[in-house]
Structure 1
Amino acid sequence: MARTLQPKQRAVLHIINVESGVMTTRFESDALLFEAPNWSPDGETLYVNGDGNLYQLGVEEGDLEQIDLGGLPEINNDHVLSPDGRTMYLSCQDGHIYAFDLVGGVSRRVTNDRGPKFSHYLHGVSPDGQTLAYIGLSTANGDVVTNVYTIPAVGGEDVQITDDGYPDDGSEFSPDGQWIYFNSERGSTPPGHAQLFRVPVAGGAPEQLTFDERVNWFPHPSPAGGRLVYVSFPPGTLGHPEDVDVIVRVLEEDGTSRDLMRVFGGQGTINVPSWSPDGRRIAFVSYPIGDGMSGSLSD
């Protein structure tokens, strides 16, 4: 079931220059809880989800416009554009991933039927548009198990990249298509203590990228290469809840992290790739309540 706003809460869409820290507020609503902005390859359009639907709006001006998905099941906040901008890949509430042609308005299911206890959560499309990276969630035998998988964008055989009991999420391709970045609790003793990792697309041992006391989720590599943006939750957080104080952070090429923006948000803030195509800006969402600030620049 789609999330809704609390009383006196609003959803605020921000755009921030990662280098200068200059931020603008592009759009806000006290009626629709929208989430997870994607940026079109031409840099002119942003896409968000809300109330189980997909919406678009111009980067510079205009209101939200709902996109008719032609009878697809309700979508969640896992949606990623193809590199050419023609196809939106969507995770739906029936547990499957669909491809929706933004030009022709037709859709098709991509994922295979692995039974009612297996769900697919999309996070990445390869730079050549040929492969999707997703998190497979299995609830067999009463245990919840998540692993990183890939599947051809046209449909076909799934490839399991990780195979263990560690909670994984947020699988996304590097700009050169050689790595999959993700967050995981592997290597941590406290429950919920997710850090950032990457693993070769061909498979192999994951490499840990962050090593701090906070809970780090959803690494998004810049299309220009060299840095990641991610959302950092307070120490001790379990999962990636909504309505908490989080920090949008940048992991630089030298391995150092810096705070970019402090926001009241979490789930929905930056779940999917949200870099501008030139790698200079990101879009993200905050969810202030009452007179609370929608975001504050970090020192």
Structure 2
Amino acid sequence: MKLRLLLLIATLSFGLSTQVKAQLTVEGYGVGQSLFPIAVMRFVGENQLPLKVTDVVRSNLARSGAMRHVESGSAEMGWDANPDYTSWKARGADALATGTVTRTPDGRFEIRYRLFDIRKNESLGGLVVTVSADELRLAGHKVADDIIQKLLGERGIFSTRLSYVIRSGKSHRLVISDSDGENAKPALASNEPIISPSWSPDGKKVAYVSFESRKPVIYVHELATGRRTVLSDQKGNNSAPSWSVDGRYLALALSKDGNTQIYKINANGTGLTRLTRGRAIDTEPQWSPDGKFIYFTSDRSGSPQIYRMSINGETDGGAQRMTFKHGFVTSPRLSPDGKNMAYIARVGGAYRLHLQDLTTGDVLPLSDGNRDETPTFAANGRYILFAARSGGKPVLMAVSIDGKNKQVLSLPGSDIREPAWGPFMD
């Protein structure tokens, strides 16, 4: 861990990771009595599918930490059927989801679903999704997202994606997967490390650092086509890319002029501008969601802490220190609403995830681990994904911002690191 942190401050942190089917293990679902009881019926016609959409929906809702499945077995009910409200009330369901799958003339599948409020004896409407066979999991995610929106009043995150890096032997792979770790596909394979993936705001590109040329170079990778371009290949270290909220710029850390400092660059690789100037090491820049500030890690106080400056740089008002609760703090990440900041702090000899309220300054520990790294917020701000160790093995762990719900994503026999949670896909 000491080596890891030295490399981090030098912006050469080697979070690594390989393509194996991900297995999600849920450790806890939150407070039992507060879970919303819902029955998801088997969709009529889904037996013709290579993958049952209701399995995806049920799994998503179980992982949400807010839903409890009321067993409905293998019974089917179409989207246009009228439920027996009295019967479902007696079975303890507050909501019911039904659906129908039909094949379209072009060979795709149309999934129609409807949600019912059992307590109020009314339909809450539904959704129609038309997908190809290899998009059936996405259809299930969209249905689950709609259920969360209708019942809880917040946008679901099941349709979002993850990126992470896997190392297996000498192989390093940048992987893109569904939010549950399934449907994993390699975006890049290399015999050299790949670190610091960062999603563009539209979810179409990922910036990352690759060592394939035997030095750290920042690339921007277009996921749909596989096309990638060099964003920064300056002398020395090129590291820690972070997108602006409008996707026009990236902040990055470069050592081209001596100590590692923060720079801003246009998304097409032009217009490099230096933002910090000093003898300290400044690294890990992160844009605030309102687009006004850049948060970053600096050892200017003698040990790493988190600071904030204008997007125009330190010359525009200086830099404000943001963390005071711990003597060693790295890896700032801002929640999508800008209210909270996640970071890793050293506590004794352990490195653990914490959450700071940016209004009050209050800090909540979210982990009791020893080697937490690289936190990343879900698009709705409710969960934080980070690299950790469980049972002595590298895993990705997701925790709710209140610390009550935890989930583990593990890949047997692999070293999985450097997670980044993608944005909402409109």
Specify if TM > 0.5. yes
Counterpart for residue 175 of structure 2: 55
TM-score normalised per structure 1: 0.72
Deviation of the 1:158 alpha carbon: 1.1
Specify whether residues 44 and 76 from structure 1 end up closer, same or farther in structure 2 by C-alpha distance, changes over 3 A only. same
Larger Rg computed on CA atoms: 2
Pair 1:245-2:350 in alignment: yes
Pair 1:277-2:277 in alignment: no
Specify whether residues 73 and 83 from structure 1 end up closer, same or farther in structure 2 by C-alpha distance, changes over 3 A only. farther
Deviation of the 1:15 alpha carbon: 9.8
Q: Secondary structure, in 3 states, of the residue corresponding to 2:221?
A: strand
Pair 1:184-2:298 in alignment: yes
Pair 1:224-2:344 in alignment: no
Distance 1:175 1:123 in 2: 16
Pair 1:154-2:268 in alignment: yes
Equivalent position to 1:195, from 290, 298, 305: 305
Distance 1:131 1:167 in 2: 22
- Pairwise mapping of residues 1-299 of structure 1 onto structure 2 (< 5 A)? 43-51=159-167, 52-60=172-180, 62=182, 64-67=184-187, 69=188, 74-93=192-211, 94-111=215-232, 113-115=233-235, 118-138=236-256, 145-188=259-302, 193-204=303-314, 205-234=318-347, 245-252=350-357, 253-266=359-372, 269-270=373-374, 274-290=376-392
Q: For the Cα contact (< 8 Å) 2:16–2:195, is it kept in 1?
A: no
* 1:215-266 per-position Cα deviation (integer Å, ceiling 9, x unaligned): 110110111111101111236xxxxxxxx62221111021121111122324
Distance 2:394 2:333 in 1: 27
Distance 1:48 1:100 in 2: 14
Specify whether residues 203 and 287 from structure 1 end up closer, same or farther in structure 2 by C-alpha distance, changes over 3 A only. same
* 1:70-98 per-position Cα deviation (integer Å, ceiling 9, x unaligned): x7784532110100010111111132211
Distance 2:28 2:342 in 1: 12
Deviation of the 1:114 alpha carbon: 3.1
Q: For the Cα contact (< 8 Å) 1:122–1:132, is it kept in 2?
A: no
Counterpart for residue 122 of structure 2: none
Specify whether residues 108 and 165 from structure 1 end up closer, same or farther in structure 2 by C-alpha distance, changes over 3 A only. same
Deviation of the 1:3 alpha carbon: 6.5
Specify whether residues 24 and 170 from structure 1 end up closer, same or farther in structure 2 by C-alpha distance, changes over 3 A only. farther
Distance 1:165 1:198 in 2: 17
Percent identical among aligned pairs is: 20
**Amino acid in structure 1 at the alignment position of 2:234:** R
**Amino acid in structure 2 at the alignment position of 1:122:** A
Deviation of the 1:168 alpha carbon: 1.8
Specify whether residues 294 and 159 from structure 1 end up closer, same or farther in structure 2 by C-alpha distance, changes over 3 A only. closer
Q: How many residues align?
A: 252
Q: For the Cα contact (< 8 Å) 2:231–2:267, is it kept in 1?
A: yes
**Amino acid in structure 1 at the alignment position of 2:313:** G
Q: Secondary structure, in 3 states, of the residue corresponding to 1:121?
A: strand
Gaps of 5+ in 2: 1-12, 18-22, 36-61, 65-156, 405-426
Counterpart for residue 140 of structure 2: none
TM-score normalised per structure 2: 0.52
Specify whether residues 213 and 88 from structure 1 end up closer, same or farther in structure 2 by C-alpha distance, changes over 3 A only. closer
Q: Secondary structure, in 3 states, of the residue corresponding to 1:250?
A: strand
Specify whether residues 17 and 184 from structure 1 end up closer, same or farther in structure 2 by C-alpha distance, changes over 3 A only. farther
Distance 2:244 2:28 in 1: 25
